[in-house]
Amino acid sequence: MTRIVDTPTLTISEDVEGKQIIYKRDESLAKQTFDGFLRASSSIFNIALSSNEDMPLGDVDDVRGFYIEADGDFNMILNGGAEIIAFKLADTVTGRKAKCRMDAQVTQINIANPDTANALNGSFGVWGDIAP
């Protein structure tokens, strides 16, 4: 059985030191644990400039969620559809990643690199196959 622990904490403040807090979600309230999946698969990717690739789903037959992070902007198409979901880096600080985590049943995840100058590098994981 696969265990997935998701802890999306978020703190928004008006200053760099984080003292003038506007919003803060406590880690103990944000943590979610999922134990109902039998399989998971992960990989890294390198997509050439102006190219696209289907992400490998490994041995997960019934995908129920995925996580992707990349070192640049990317476009995603789910389930062979036509709708493009664009992900952009929040800023140009070195080391920043464009990220997406989704709990959804999907059959195909296609990632496109819109950059005409740089390859897109990142990591990718899926989970699914619900336990009986």
Domain segments of the chain: what residues?
Answer: 36-130
What pLDDT does 28 receive?
A: 66
pLDDT band at 1 (very low <50, low <70, confident <90, very high): low
Q: Are 69 and 99 in contact (CB under 8 A)?
A: yes
- DSSP letter for 56, please: P
- How many Cα neighbours within 13 Å face the side chain of 89? 16
Model pLDDT, residue 12: 77
| pLDDT of amino acid 36 | 78
DSSP H or E run through 27:
helix 27-30
Per-residue confidence (pLDDT) for residue 119, from 0 to 100: 96
Lowest mean pLDDT among 6-10, 26-30, 51-55: 26-30
What is the Cα–Cα distance from 94 to 100, expressed in whole angstroms?
A: 19
55 C-beta neighbours (distance < 10 Å), count: 21
Mean pLDDT, residues 69-76 taken together: 95
Separation between Cα atoms, residue 27 and residue 126, nearest integer Å: 24
For 98, the enclosing helix (H) or strand (E) is strand 98-102
* Confidence (pTM): 0.76
Pick the range with the lowest mean pLDDT from 10-24, 43-57, 97-111.
10-24
> What is the rounded CA–CA span in Å between residue 118 and residue 40?
30
Determine the 3-state secondary structure of 29 from DSSP: helix
Chain segment 10-42, per-residue pLDDT in tens = 777 887 887 887 777 766 666 777 777 888 899
* CATH architecture of the domain covering 36-130: Sandwich (2.60)
